[in-house]
Chain A
């Protein structure tokens, strides 16, 4: 069975500071990895995903995540955050043999001016 751990329930950070949101997963088979973001009163939106190939994946709004197989991690980073990045961020995994996404418990990113 697969599982996802997001150790930080909330990460406060000042505007323009760098941030890292941590995600570790457990699986005995190969997985696809995803980061979803949820803004207040909205659904989950895909931020970025790792399927195969380059271990560093980027989103259009400056976020990036690196797949590290040896550490079973997929941490999300941004070098300089904006107030508008305030949201809940969910890490998720999926395998080829299942239809379901398995989510972590989420990390609330709070960007302060």
Chain B
């Protein structure tokens, strides 16, 4: 069964450093998403991506964040200068259509900023 994969499973970084979180969405999907979950809080939407551009972003997704689909398979989230409050579980998701179609989630990357 096809699935969304994410690497690494756990990333530890120093405050101010850049990190890149990687995701491989399901191969025939067209819509890609990033969500995050700070420990003890809700899963929050960050950004959606379609046709090589951002289709929607939340207030959280400020200038320190960027997304890219560098090739036909990977979808990345870059945090330019990490802050302590960026520590969270980051989930990638993909879907074949928008609307009410299911978003398939990856297992997440736990980011710890020291």
Instruction: Please give the residue numbers on chain A whose beta carbons come within 8 Å of chain B beta carbons, in ascending order.
Output: 32, 34, 36, 41-46, 49, 51, 90, 92, 94, 96, 98-106
Contact = CB atoms under 8 A, between A and B. Distances in A.
A102 to B, nearest CB: 7
Nearest to B106: A43
B100 A94 contact: yes
A7 B7 CA distance: 33
A96 B99 contact: yes
Contacts of A45: 105
Given A90-B43, A103-B44, A106-B42, 5 more contacts: A43-B107, A98-B56, A99-B48, A100-B33, A100-B48
A99 B106 contact: no
Contacts, number: 54
A41 B9 CA distance: 10
A96 B84 CA distance: 34
B75 interface: no
Nearest to B58: A100
A74 B99 CA distance: 19
A102 B19 CA distance: 26
A52 B110 CA distance: 35
Given A32-B100, A46-B102, A96-B99, A103 B107 contact: no
A42 B56 contact: no
B102 A104 contact: no
18 contacts: A32-B99, A32-B100, A43-B91, A43-B105, A43-B106, A43-B107, A43-B108, A45-B105, A51-B100, A94-B100, A96-B100, A99-B50, A100-B56, A100-B58, A101-B35, A101-B43, A101-B103, A104-B42
Nearest to A100: B45
A43 B102 contact: no
